[in-house]
A and B are shown apart, each in its own frame.
Chain A
């Protein structure tokens, strides 16, 4: 991990609230693994507003051109700042951070389930799995058509996917968790990987409880340092003995066993 300043080689607007920044960084392209993230300074030189860096997963890595990208939703000040950045400007970030995702040797089939912006880290994971000759089925769920343009990125990675939206404006109308629930038999031998809003993670956890399906989740929490020093980003984890422990999302995660995450 390093503090870096990378030139923005493209700034794309996907829809009203969804943006992609492409950043030149040989260091990230060489060292980053899927599910790792960068901590981005979202303020001008010497500005303290906003003060803390904001974490974003690495969305794509293009080793040929040494460019990686971030896909993000505008939420508040930090992401609004990022949405206003233009090609040629410099992004100040620390990374790559987090443990990333290691492909389990003994698994061949993977079900990736993303809710909203949760699809961002899953895209790089999907790419990586496919490069390693694994079978990937990608399921994505959204509220509306915000992610419409994003499908063009997904299609470059794989063809075996299903898209759902609550209002039916993008893909099939419905909830991905219902689809998963109804197809559990088909996915018995799949390793699940889930990233999305808490409600969705909770749902999937209860659907899978008591079944012999392995599920990993990419978790998030407010972060101050991103490197394991502030103890700010903790998640409650219930281990096999039933003990509850706080784990740091930044350095113990961001990937955790979904069945061990405590939501209450």
Chain B
């Protein structure tokens, strides 16, 4: 069992959001965390991000929705979810009971839907640490993808939700448009506390025997170790600009990967696909970071943040 007291040097601050440690479960890979609570106590995580919730229930894309590729996986889930009302009434109370620090991921087809969802969350905001705006899912035709291509829309959606909610606000961005720094500045101007990068990378695969796409939706999003070097570069490039705190994610499998994102400039890190492979990886990553810091006599994780570009590696 992870010892909370040993973790004291792990606390991080992302704008107004304070996490007891930098390890966050990524949206869409952890459901509401309750399944994983059977493997370890999810309250030890810095935060749990829920699957992206939409205003009305969404059916998602036709199967097959999963396809493994070299050191990675494609998914075309298409944001299947029961809708925000169902979540707030049925799942949120159970997450609170499990002691999770909760980030609710939300997804709207336009600014209006985002504000409607935010207004529904308002009633429960005391129970929630932050709201993550999914502005980047590659698996839905309209909406997310288009927003991310339009930084001004990002600015508008962030400020609209900022005006409604007192919780932390995180903008989740995509690397699919080559505009992360611009989008991140707009999110910061709109009042976001942090950005999460990166969402999955648009990709596909075909079967050479049946001549069919391997995903029912033809295109999907690539995640897992295959995207780690790309994600790391995006985190490094953005963190260096010092625009807004960065939550780094993409292919993190173990504590070594987590540390690598932190030294590249991430304030906190997200674990996604790794949860499918090792359902208890959240606990192991926290323990691993802790041990690494003790071994190297580092008493505050924030010293490590961005150390590769601060050029002060010699101190440690």
Give residues in A with beta carbon < 8 Å to B: 1-3, 41, 46, 48-53, 94, 221-236, 245-246
Contact = CB atoms under 8 A, between A and B. Distances in A.
B66 interface: yes
Given A3-B280, A225-B275, A228-B35, A51 B65 contact: no
Nearest to A52: B68
B225 interface: yes
A52 B35 CA distance: 18
B39 A2 contact: yes
B29 A231 contact: no
B59 interface: yes
B63 A94 contact: no
A234 B65 CA distance: 8
A46 B288 CA distance: 14
Nearest to B65: A232
Contacts of B60: 231, 234, 246
B65 A53 contact: no
B277 A235 contact: no
Interface in B241-299: 253-254, 273, 275-280
Contacts of A50: 68
A52 B280 CA distance: 15
Nearest to A222: B66
Given A231-B80, A246-B80, 4 more contacts: A94-B279, A224-B273, A224-B276, A236-B62
A221 B64 contact: yes
B73 A52 contact: yes
A3 B36 CA distance: 11
Interface string B196-213: 000000000000000000
B123 interface: no
Contact of B279 (A52, A221, A227): A227
B59 A246 contact: yes
Contacts of B36: 229
A231 B276 contact: no
A91 to B, nearest CB: 15
Contact of A234 (B63, B68, B279): B63
Nearest to A230: B276
Interface string B45-88: 00000010000000110111111101111010100100000000
Contacts of B144: none
Query: Which applies to chain B's interface (DSSP): helix, strand, loop or mixed?
Result: loop
Given A41-B277, A53-B277, A229-B275, A224 B75 contact: yes
A53 B224 contact: no
Interface residues of B, number: 36
B31 interface: yes
B38 interface: yes
B30 interface: yes
A236 B60 CA distance: 11
A168 to B, nearest CB: 27
A71 B80 CA distance: 33
Nearest to A223: B66
B72 A51 contact: yes
A230 B278 contact: no
A51 B35 contact: no
Interface in B188-232: 224-225
Contacts of A227: 35, 279
A236 B279 contact: no
Interface in B120-165: none
Contacts of B275: 225, 229
Given A50-B68, A51-B224, A230-B77, A3 B31 contact: no
A60 B32 CA distance: 33
A52 B77 contact: no
Contact of A229 (B29, B70, B73, B280): B29
A256 to B, nearest CB: 14
Given A53-B276, A224-B276, A232-B77, A48 B71 contact: yes
* CB-based closest 9 A-B pairs: A232-B66, A229-B31, A225-B276, A222-B66, A48-B71, A224-B276, A48-B225, A231-B80, A231-B77
27 contacts: A3-B278, A41-B277, A46-B253, A48-B71, A48-B224, A51-B224, A52-B68, A52-B276, A52-B277, A221-B66, A222-B65, A222-B67, A222-B68, A224-B75, A224-B273, A224-B276, A225-B276, A229-B29, A229-B36, A230-B28, A230-B77, A230-B276, A231-B51, A233-B63, A234-B60, A234-B63, A236-B62
B75 A232 contact: yes
Given A94-B279, A246-B80, A224 B59 contact: no
A236 B63 contact: yes
